[in-house]
Amino acid sequence: MNRARVVLVAALALLAGCMSVPLSTLWQMRSFGADDLAAMDPVQLRVATRIEPGQARVDPDRSNLTLTLHGKDGASDDVHAFGLRPARIQGGPILPPGEPGWHVLALDDAGRAAVQRLKPRLANVREHYSGATFNFNIKFAEDIPKSVAMVRFSVRLQLADAQDPFTLFDRARIPVEHAD
């Protein structure tokens, strides 16, 4: 059976303070089926991040996960933003074994409620949409020291406990520009 494909894209938007990331940076993409999207569980959804060197951390209060559902036949896209918070459990299958320094985020209360309201549409995603895009928009919790000119950023997404995590990007090189 030919499965509809949903494109999963991770993108960094704005960084805190005096840093910026060129939007032309290429990100690793990952495809998954519409059935995976329909099985998304708002309580179990996790985003894991790792930044090297480890001086910087993602600020979950100023970061979000966005799902864009692309309308079929010229219909407009539906964009849904979900707030994040630190996950109560900093472990599980979302984390690669033997790799310290990961931080796990979960949907906040409003994000969980928004996904729950969206679930009926996701059950019939193929009927109404041509695809979907996830964007992970981050802000760092603190400034990166001026001695750091580049960071490596990794992000993994797990939509439900019964699904394997998706690697959005793995040790992507991101130049850091510091304002004087």
What pLDDT, on the 0 to 100 scale, is given for residue 1? Answer: 27
Of the candidates 138, 141, 134, 144, the residue with the CA atom closest to the CA atom of residue 167:
134
Q: What is the DSSP string of 91-119?
A: -STTSPTT----EEEEE-HHHHHHHHHHH
Residue 58 lies in a domain: yes
Segments of the chain with pLDDT less than 50: 1-30
* Total count of domains within the chain: 1
What pLDDT, on the 0 to 100 scale, is given for residue 83? Answer: 95
What pLDDT, on the 0 to 100 scale, is given for residue 20? Answer: 30
What pLDDT, on the 0 to 100 scale, is given for residue 108? Answer: 96
What pLDDT, on the 0 to 100 scale, is given for residue 177? Answer: 74
Answer whether the bond into residue 42 is a cis peptide, omega within 30°.
no
The whole domain housing 36 covers 5-175
Residue 180 lies in a domain: no
